[in-house]
Structure 1
Amino acid sequence: MSRRPRTPHRRSRLGAVAATLLAALLATSSLATAPASAAVEEELEVMSFNLRYASDTPPNSWQERRPVTRQLLQRERPHLIGTQEGLYEQLRDIEDDLRSRYDSIGLGREGGSRGEFMMIFFDQTRLDPLEYDHFWLSDTPDVVGSQTWGGCCPRMVTWVRFLDRVTGQEFYAVNTHLEAFDATARAKSADLILERMAAFDPELPVVMTGDFNEPAGAGGRVYDTLVTDGPLVDTWEAAEERGELVGTFPNYQTPVPGGPRIDWILTSPEVDVRRAEINTFRRAGQFPSDHLPVQASLVLPTS
C-alpha cells in the first residue's frame, strides 16, 4: 500500500510553526543561556601534593605507597597537580598510573633528572601549556642547582603558562617547595618568588601550589609576604565551602584536627574559590604520603 505524500506546502508550514514555538520557549527559558554560562564557569580542579620521595625501606616505602597514590589520583582526577619531592623514577611511575590523559613539566632541582622535582602534572584534555620555565631559590636563580641561603638543599620553582581549553582563559601555575629548616631562607624565597612573578603578564591570574614549610596564617614571614601583605589569596580562607581542617603533615599518623596547614594553594584575588579540602584518603591504614594532598575547585576570571 502506498502512502499519501505530504505536500511541500504542508511540511513547510508545520516546520515554521514548530520553529516559532521553539524560539519562544528558548527565549523565555534560562536553559537558553546555561551552556554558555557553564562553559565560562567550568571549575578547575587543583591539587598540591608533597609525595614524599621514593624509598625502598619499609614501613611506608614507595612500593607500599604507590598503589594508594594511584587510587587517590585516579579517584580525584585533578586537572592540575603540583607535586613536591618526587624523584624521577617515582614520577615516571605516577605518569604510568595516570595513563595517557596527563602530561607533566618539571626538572630535578640538581639539574636534569637529578634530585627532587617540582613537577606540574596536567590533564591534556583540559590544559595546554604555552610556556614554562624554572628558577632556583638563591642569589643566582638562573644557575641550576644553586643554593646560597643555607638550608638543607637546593630549592626551586617550576612555572607554566596554561591555556584552559574549556574556558579559553590563560593562567600561570607556579609550584614550589620552600626550605624546611631555615626561616631566613624561606623568607628570601618568598621575596624572590614575588620578584619573578612581576615579569608575568599582569592580566593573567596565578595559581600557586606548594609545601611552604610554615603554618598558614598571619604572622608567618612567608604567609605575610605572599598573602597578608602580598598579592595572593589563601584558597582555604577564601573558599565558599571547606572540608574538615586537619594538619597537612601527619607523618603517616592520624591527622590532627585543627593542625597546622603547611601545604597551600594560593591564587590571585580575582579567582573564585568554590571549595577547598584536605584529603585524608588512606587504604588499609596506608597513607599515600607523609603529607596530605590539599585541593581546591577554582573558577578563573573571564577575559
Structure 2
Amino acid sequence: MICNMKCSINKKYYFLLLILLFAGGLPAKSSNLDKTKPEDIIRLASYNIRTKGDKGDKSWEVRLNALVDVVRRNKFDMFAIQEGRTSQLKDMMILNEYSYIGRDRDGDNKGEHCAIYYKKDRFKVLKHGDFWYSETPDIPSYGWGARCRRICTWGYFKDLRTGKKFYVFNSHTDHEATEARRQSSFMLLEQVRKIAKGRPTFCTGDFNATPDEEPIQLLLKDSLLLDSYKCTLTPPKGPSGSFYAYDKTGKTAKRIDFIFVTPKIKILSYHTIDDDIKYNKYSSDHFPVMVEALLK
C-alpha cells in the first residue's frame, strides 16, 4: 500500500515535471543569458552628429551640450560618429572619459571624420587604420562619382573587463552617387574579411540607404554581416527611422543609420534614441542608434 502510494506520487510528480519542462516553466539547461554579467555588456552606438553650419537652435554651439547629454544619459561605452569636423572633435573633448581614433577624410586635418569614441578605462586600442571608398583606398580620394571623399575608420579593441577582442568599422557612404554606395558595400565586405579575419566585428555608419535599397541588400545577402535591428533578442525600442532631418514629429524619419555585426556578436537590445524629441533639444538631425551587445 505504501509502495503503491509512493509510486503513484512519483508518477504524478514526474508527469508534472514533464508538463513544466515542455511548457518552458523549467528549462532543461540554463540560458547563456542567465550567466551574463551586466558589466560584460557593451553599449555601442552609431551617431551622425551633423556637421557645422546650421544656425539658431540647430547651430553646433547649441547642439554640443545636447549631444553631450545624449552620450552621458545613455551611458555609451563606445560611439562611432559621422560628419564630425576637426573643430567639432576638439569641442567634444569635454567628454573627457572618452578617447577616439580616426582621421579626417580630406587629408587637410579640417574635414569630416568617422571617428570611433571609446571609454578610456574600459577599452584598449590594439590597432587602427582608415581606408577610402574609392579605387585608391589608401589615400584621400573620390570614388565612383561620389560627391565627397568617403572614409571608413576601423579599430581593433580589447575589452579590459573581459579580455575579449573585437573590431569596429565606421563608415559614411555617399549621399548622391548610387554607384558609389554600391561599390562601398562591396569594399566594406572585402576589407572586413581582409582586416578582421573572422574576429567579432561591428560595422557602424550612415549608409545613406534604407534597408530595402541595393547597398544594404548587398551587405545582407553576404553571410558575413547581420542587421542588429533584425537580430536583436528583444523588440527594437524607439522609432524605426534614424534620419529625422530636425522634424520633431519624427514622421519623416528614414532608417539609414545601421549597426551590422558578425555572427560572433549577440545583440541583446536595439534602441533608436529619440532624446532630441523627448527633451526638446537638437543634438543632430539624426537619432543615434545603440545596441547592447555580448561577444560570444
Is the Cα–Cα contact under 8 Å of residues 41 and 300 in structure 1 kept in the other structure?
no
2:102 paired residue number: 106
1:138 paired residue number: 134
SS of 1:176's partner is strand
Q: Give the drift of 1:106.
A: 1.0
Which digits, 9 at most, give the CA deviation of each residue in 1:51-70, with x for residues without a partner? 00022632400111111111
Which digits, 9 at most, give the CA deviation of each residue in 1:151-203, with x for residues without a partner? 21100100000011111111100000011111110000111111111212434
Q: Distance in 2 between matches of 1:200 and 1:113?
A: 25
Q: Distance in 2 between matches of 1:284 and 1:162?
A: 33
1:254 paired residue number: 248
Q: Distance in 2 between matches of 1:203 and 1:214?
A: 26
> Superposed, which structure 2 residues align to 1:142-157 within 5 Å?
142-143=138-139, 145-157=140-152
Q: Give the drift of 1:230.
A: 4.0
Structure 1 pair 272–114 and aligned structure 2 pair: CA distance change class (3 A): same
Larger Rg: 1
* Unaligned segments of structure 1, at least 5 residues: 1-33
Q: Distance in 1 between matches of 2:45 and 2:143?
A: 30
1:19 paired residue number: none
1:184 paired residue number: 179
**Structure 1 stretches of 4+ moved >3 Å:** 36-41, 255-259
Identity %: 29
Is the Cα–Cα contact under 8 Å of residues 147 and 154 in structure 1 kept in the other structure?
yes
Q: Which AA in structure 2 matches 1:126?
A: R
Is 2:65 aligned against 1:67? yes
Q: Distance in 1 between matches of 2:273 and 2:238?
A: 9
SS of 1:199's partner is helix
Q: Give the drift of 1:211.
A: 0.2
Identify the match of residue 201 of structure 2 among 199, 203, 206. 206
Q: Distance in 2 between matches of 1:260 and 1:56?
A: 21
Q: Distance in 2 between matches of 1:260 and 1:148?
A: 25
C-alpha RMSD of matched pairs (Å): 2.1
TM-score, normalised with respect to structure 2: 0.83
Q: Which AA in structure 2 matches 1:173?
A: V
Identify the match of residue 81 of structure 2 among 80, 83, 86. 83
* Unaligned segments of structure 2, at least 5 residues: 1-31
Which digits, 9 at most, give the CA deviation of each residue in 1:230-288, with x for residues without a partner? 41011111112220333211111125359531000110012110000100002762220
Which digits, 9 at most, give the CA deviation of each residue in 1:192-225, with x for residues without a partner? 11111121243411101100000124xx221122
Q: Which AA in structure 1 matches 2:227?
A: D
Is the Cα–Cα contact under 8 Å of residues 44 and 297 in structure 1 kept in the other structure?
yes
Is the Cα–Cα contact under 8 Å of residues 246 and 258 in structure 1 kept in the other structure?
no
SS of 1:247's partner is coil
Q: Which AA in structure 2 matches 1:104?
A: Y
2:275 paired residue number: 281
Greater shift in the superposed pair: 220-229 or 71-80? 220-229
Structure 1 pair 43–255 and aligned structure 2 pair: CA distance change class (3 A): farther
Q: Give the drift of 1:125.
A: 1.4
Q: Which AA in structure 2 matches 1:67?
A: N
Q: Give the drift of 1:105.
A: 0.5
